[in-house]
Amino acid sequence: MMTADLNVVTGAFGYTGKYITARLLAQGRRVRTLTGHPHRPNSFGGQVDAAPFNFENPAELEKSLQGADAVFNTYWVRFPRGDVTYEIAVENSRVLIKAAERAGVRKFVHVSVSNPSEDSPLPYYRGKALVERAVRESRLSYAVIRPTLVFGIGDILINNIAWFLRRFPV
C-alpha cells in the first residue's frame, strides 16, 4: 500500500538513485524522479514518474517538486564533459535547493562524498563542499550523507579506476 508522502529522488535511473528508489518503493512510498534523461527506459515501470531537471527554468523545477515531503539528491557529474562542468553542477544544485525551499519540501537528503573541502585542489571535492554549504545555508531540514565508496551489483567502480589510472599513472 502506497503512502501519501511523495519522495523525489534525483537520478533514480542512475546507480545510487536506483537503490534509494527501490528501497522507498519497497517501503510503500510514492516516488518521482528528476533526471537529465527523462526518456530513458524506466526500470520501475509505472511506479515512478519522471520529470526533467529543468535547471534553466526554476519555476518548472519547483513545480516538479510540489507536494514532495522529501528530496533524496544524488545529482552530480562524475566527469566534466562539454558544457557540464563541476561549476555548473554546483550552480544547478543551488537552483535545486532553492526550488525545494519554494516548493515547501520538508526534508532534503544530500548524497555527497567523503572529505569534501572548499580548499581542495580537486574541483570534484571542492564542488561537493560548495553544494554541502548551500544545503546547510538553506531553510530546509537536511541530512548530508558522505559515503566513502558506493559499490555493488551493476556498479562502475572498476571502470572509474581504469579511467583514473589511464590519466594519472601511478
Domains along the chain with CATH numbers: 6-167 (3.40.50.720)
Mean pLDDT of the chain: 92
> How would residue 148 be classed by pLDDT, with cut points 50, 70 and 90?
confident
Contact 96, 35 (CB under 8 A): no
CA separation, residue 54 to residues 61, 81, 97, 105, 146 (Å): 5, 19, 13, 17, 26
Alpha helix stretches (DSSP H) within 104-139? 123-137
SS3 96: helix
The pLDDT tens digits for 6-16 are: 999 999 998 89
How much is the pTM? Answer: 0.88
The pLDDT tens digits for 48-87 are: 999 999 999 999 999 999 999 999 999 999 888 888 899 9
Contact 73, 100 (CB under 8 A): no
The pLDDT tens digits for 80-110 are: 888 889 999 999 999 999 999 999 999 999 9
Task: Report the percent of the chain where pLDDT is more than 70.
Answer: 97
The confidence score (pLDDT) of residue 2 equals: 54
